């Protein structure tokens, strides 16, 4: 007999492309049918059939204080009683911008938008407007949303222009995007030596989270800062995932690298749809209505998202928050690696504070090529075995995992025990 999740997915496929509103939800990367979750509390989710799971997706990152935190719900509920939104300025968007400026090292002004894709697209447009140049640099394995300029893969050689990764992306636009190897400083220097005068921006996830979790190697981010300063290009940190998660001030605070623009999302909405671009006032003031670079959004700064974000930032601003989160993530990853050694399964992990990744590999994973060399077939079997054990990972070998402050010792120990059993059956 079909589960309720399977029944709901069958119904969804009749009216939604692939049955989903975001591709990774369809389980195409692991096979089978997605679980439909009906409620969440703390580190746990409950599906439509009443099964409970320890969750390591966290709504893809924003649930850093756990699901349905009482203080976040109370803040949203207070605003909900006043209305959903008015298409007009509201005080909450100013207050959230003020909090972001207090926390993010280079932030002086903020433009709120409604998604990470929209924020990255805005940052790219602003960088082109600031420099008067057209070309941008991105990195293989990093994802910055589905705007045309960013759905581009590398050409046939290291210094060739990009090609579209999706129908509908004009080849002429893709040719303005150069896709390089993440963590390859030598290649970055080579590209800037030849094309630096024409490059408007470099956009990068300072900790990659869309080829699973791959931290920067020493010197990589420093190289990006050096070559962009020398060439006059804009350095954009996409901190949609890392912002407020790997440190209170994000990856730029953790690694001591100050970009020109920062793209934010996820945590600043506490689980509601949101995005933002932030940076020095001299850059942000080039946006409309006071500057020539146009950007607009009817629902930008929605008061429900602003209330949720403010409550979340207040909760994570305590002195011990990120230290405790990092300690729990380390405990989880060490436990997973120990279970893999006991099972004689080649597995390594990466982690940075509240982000982690696990890879079926015999060697450390530092690049997109390393990720692609991992045993994806084994991950698929492991994913389903772990799901049957009541542990919810991202349904892809190429997505990072996330912990919250609600993941206590009991959840970590239960997860490690489940991993040991799953490895034995996968």
Burial of 191-229, coded b for 16+ CB within 10 Å and e otherwise, reads bbeebbeebbbbbbbbbbbbbbbbbbeeebbebbbbbbe
Question: What is residue 155's predicted lDDT score, i.e. its pLDDT?
Answer: 52
Q: Which tens digits make up the pLDDT trace of 370-399?
A: 999 999 999 999 999 999 999 999 999 999
pLDDT of residue 147: 87
- Token pair for residue 219? 């010197």
**Token pair of 422 as six digits:** 């799953």
The pLDDT of residue 211 is above 60: yes
Q: Report helix, strand or coil for 17.
A: helix
Kindly state the average pLDDT of the residues 118-128: 98
Which burial class, exposed, middle or buried, applies to 321 when counting CB atoms under 10 A from its CB (0-12, 13-18, 19+)?
middle
Find all residues with CB under 8 Å of 234, minimum gap 6, and list them. 126, 127, 130, 131, 200, 201, 202, 228, 260, 261, 283
Task: For residues 363-374, give the mean pLDDT.
Answer: 96
Q: How many CA atoms lie within 13 A of 374 on its CB side?
A: 28
pLDDT tens-place string over residues 284-294: 999 999 999 99
Which tops the pLDDT comparison, 350 or 169?
350
DSSP annotation of 243: B
- Cα 166 to Cα 1, 144, 147, 150, 153: the distances in Å are 38, 14, 11, 10, 10
**Mean pLDDT score, 248-275:** 97
What whole-number percentage of the chain has pLDDT above 70? 98
Q: Is the pLDDT of residue 165 over 90?
A: no
Residue 148's pLDDT band, with cuts at 50, 70 and 90, is: confident
Mean pLDDT of 353-365: 97
What's the mean pLDDT when you consider all of the chain?
Answer: 95
Indicate the helix (H) or strand (E) that contains 171.
helix 171-174
Residue with the two structure tokens 């008067």: 132
Q: What is the pLDDT of residues 60-101, one digit of tens each?
A: 999 999 999 999 999 999 999 999 999 999 999 999 999 999
How far does CA 241 lie from the centroid of its chain? 3
Its pTM stands at 0.96
Mean pLDDT along residues 278-283: 98
Query: Above 50 in pLDDT, residue 157?
Result: no
Q: Is 153 left (phi over 0), alpha (psi -120 to 50) or beta?
A: beta
The pLDDT of residue 159: 44
Is a pLDDT exceeding 70 seen at residue 154?
no
Asked whether the predicted pLDDT for residue 316 surpasses 50, the reply is yes
pLDDT of 162 strictly over 90:
no
**pLDDT at residue 47 above 70?**
yes
pLDDT band at 161 (very low <50, low <70, confident <90, very high): low
Cα–Cα separations (whole angstroms), residue 33 to 52, 252, 387 = 17, 38, 12
Question: Region 16-25: what's the mean pLDDT?
Answer: 93
Main-chain phi, psi angles of 418, to 5 degrees: -65, -40
Enumerate the active-site residues.
143, 238, 266
Total residue count of the chain as it appears in this document: 426
Domains of the chain in start order, with CATH, are 4-68+319-424 (3.90.1150.10), 70-316 (3.40.640.10)
pLDDT for position 249: 97
pLDDT computed for residue 425 by the predictor = 82
Question: pLDDT class for 156, splitting at 50, 70, 90?
Answer: very low
Q: Say how many CA atoms lie within 13 Å of 251 toward its Cβ.
A: 26
What average pLDDT does this structure show over 301-319? 97
């Amino acid at each position: 007999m079909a589960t309720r999740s399977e029944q709901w997915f069958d119904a969804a496929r009749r009216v939604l492309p692939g049955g989903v509103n975001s591709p990774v939800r369809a389980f195409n990367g692991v096979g089978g049918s997605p679980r439909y979750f009906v409620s969440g509390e703390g580190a746990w989710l409950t599906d439509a059939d009443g099964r409970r799971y320890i969750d390591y997706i966290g709504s893809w990152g924003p649930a850093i204080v756990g699901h349905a935190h009482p203080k976040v719900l109370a803040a949203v509920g207070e605003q909900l009683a006043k209305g959903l939104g008015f298409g007009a300025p509201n005080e909450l968007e100013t207050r959230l911008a003020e909090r972001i400026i207090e926390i993010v090292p280079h932030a002086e002004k903020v433009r709120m938008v409604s998604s990470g894709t929209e924020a990255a697209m805005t940052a790219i447009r602003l960088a082109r407007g600031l420099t008067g140049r057209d070309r941008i640099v991105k990195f293989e394995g990093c994802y910055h949303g589905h705007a045309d300029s960013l759905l581009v893969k590398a050409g046939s050689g290291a210094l060739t222009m990009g090609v579209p990764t999706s129908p509908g992306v004009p080849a002429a636009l893709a040719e303005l995007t150069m896709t390089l190897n993440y963590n390859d400083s030598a290649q970055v220097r080579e590209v800037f030596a030849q094309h630096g005068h024409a490059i408007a921006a470099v956009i990068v996830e300072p900790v990659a989270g869309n080829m699973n979790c791959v931290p920067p190697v020493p010197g990589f981010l420093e190289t990006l800062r050096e070559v962009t300063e020398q060439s006059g290009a804009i350095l954009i940190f996409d901190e949609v995932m890392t912002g407020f998660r790997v440190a209170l001030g994000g990856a730029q605070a953790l690694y001591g690298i100050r970009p020109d623009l920062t793209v934010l999302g996820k945590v600043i909405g506490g689980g509601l749809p949101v995005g933002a671009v932030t940076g020095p006032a001299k850059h942000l003031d080039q946006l409309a209505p006071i500057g020539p670079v146009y950007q607009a959004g009817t629902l930008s700064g929605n008061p429900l998202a602003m209330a949720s974000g403010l409550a979340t930032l207040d909760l994570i601003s305590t002195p011990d928050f990120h230290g405790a989160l990092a300690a729990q993530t380390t405990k989880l990853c060490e436990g997973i690696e120990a279970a893999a050694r006991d099972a004689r399964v080649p597995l390594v992990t990466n982690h940075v504070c509240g982000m982690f990744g696990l890879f079926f590999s015999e060697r450390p994973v530092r690049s997109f090529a390393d990720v692609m060399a991992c045993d994806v077939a084994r991950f698929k079997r492991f994913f389903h075995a772990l799901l049957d054990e009541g542990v919810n990972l991202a349904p892809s070998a190429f997505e990072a995992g996330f912990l919250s402050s609600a993941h206590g010792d009991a959840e970590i120990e239960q997860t490690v025990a489940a991993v040991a059993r799953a490895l034995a059956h996968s």
